[in-house]
Structure 1
């Protein structure tokens, strides 16, 4: 009889635990629903698009999560929805460098070199989102990733008063792998809440600001000195459309 009671209590505790996880998961989704776009045509134009990194290959097989993020980013660029990309990811070691891999693929797709900014310290979603504001000095940007990732990234952004939206890109068809990722996401959200509300975790690295500046803002032309009182036309150079990062 005692063993039966232990089993019952264990079962109840397990049900409560799972129910709590699911409620927290749904809460994150509900909190960020209004900030997520699914149709690129309805997305407003942004100066900066933050592409969250992931591995390009999984066991020598092309990772569809990576492919869909990059395809969506390139599509936004070609439709003039994003001017510059901030590609943020892990730079664990010499043979694994997410930002560099993303940059290489963007360049192959025709994105200008000076319209790609690399964040090598995007070790976690929190690092990538917070560093976009604190290091790269942008507080109005669109995040590019899958919906489940959008929701967690925006939840973190809202906590840090960062003005961000997200384009939810295509996800692989449902299967065992997708289910595992979704289950892992539930625990990732709980960890994010602990980091934000309990531990008050900050990015692993911050450092000096490296603002992303629009060079279209030119200095005011100076009047040329002339003997007469009439104005002389001033020759100005057409501004570049590139966006660069101040070192």
Structure 2
């Protein structure tokens, strides 16, 4: 009996490892050539979709993922690579509002308020890219986040018929972002589970045109 349990555990671990490796390979391969770190080489799109994250870490320190995404968005806008910004993030409570916080910092950095649109229901990457297509009516978009996140978002966007490229915000050193990088492998497996289960965003709502 013990041998059977051991074999079952090993089988589950083996299948999990295969799923991790295969999911990562498929997403990396699909996104190859679709993300950019150079502003001059980034194709122009009407809208840039910045994916939300918290401004502060749990301990209260500034979140470099946040500040680097804001900086990347401002850089793209000032280089005329995007005309409008769609900020998509979590607005789960009155005490936590990623889109509004990002909007304030984008305005402070020089992006006009009328060029910024907010998606308060971007609870997950899937929600953000699906809603960009369905709610905001986008056919193409430049996704703004760190490269590993852009790759996953681009794959999801394509599955919904949204033509997406990514502009890579500056990443942080591996040792500092090890937890996030590790979690990303499992997030990529979940992409395929969500697609298989036809998971939809938590909310859709009325359409909003960006113009």
Q: Same fold per TM (> 0.5)? A: yes
Q: CA deviation at 1:71?
A: 0.6
RMSD: 1.6
For structure 2, the 5+ residue unaligned runs are none
Pair 1:162-2:156 in alignment: no
Question: Equivalences for 1:80-159 in 2 at 5 Å?
Answer: 80-159=80-159
Pair 1:202-2:197 in alignment: no
Cα distance in structure 1, aligned partners of 2:38 and 2:181: 22
CA contact (8 A) 2:47 2:84 kept: yes
Cα distance in structure 2, aligned partners of 1:4 and 1:119: 52
Structure 2 equivalent of residue 218 of structure 1: none
SS of the equivalent of 2:48 reads strand
For structure 1, the 5+ residue unaligned runs are 214-247
Cα distance in structure 2, aligned partners of 1:163 and 1:12: 38
Cα distance in structure 2, aligned partners of 1:63 and 1:179: 14
Structure with bigger RCO (C-alpha 8 Å, 6+ apart): 2
Cα distance 1:4–1:202, how it changes in 2: closer, same or farther (>3 A)? closer
Structure 1 equivalent of residue 55 of structure 2: 56
Cα distance in structure 2, aligned partners of 1:86 and 1:187: 27
Per-residue deviation, residues 119-158 of structure 1 (Å, max 9, x unmatched): 1111111111111111111111100001111111011111
Q: CA deviation at 1:19?
A: 2.9
Cα distance 1:10–1:165, how it changes in 2: closer, same or farther (>3 A)? same
Per-residue deviation, residues 153-204 of structure 1 (Å, max 9, x unmatched): 01111111111111122111111x522211211111111211112x111111
SS of the equivalent of 2:122 reads coil
Cα distance in structure 2, aligned partners of 1:4 and 1:206: 49
Cα distance in structure 1, aligned partners of 2:198 and 2:81: 34
Cα distance in structure 2, aligned partners of 1:20 and 1:192: 11
Per-residue deviation, residues 84-134 of structure 1 (Å, max 9, x unmatched): 100000001111100000000011011101000011111111111111111
Cα distance 1:205–1:6, how it changes in 2: closer, same or farther (>3 A)? closer
Cα distance in structure 2, aligned partners of 1:124 and 1:208: 19
Cα distance in structure 1, aligned partners of 2:142 and 2:38: 13
Computing the radius of gyration over CA atoms, which structure comes out larger, 1 or 2?
1
SS of the equivalent of 2:165 reads strand
CA contact (8 A) 2:50 2:73 kept: yes
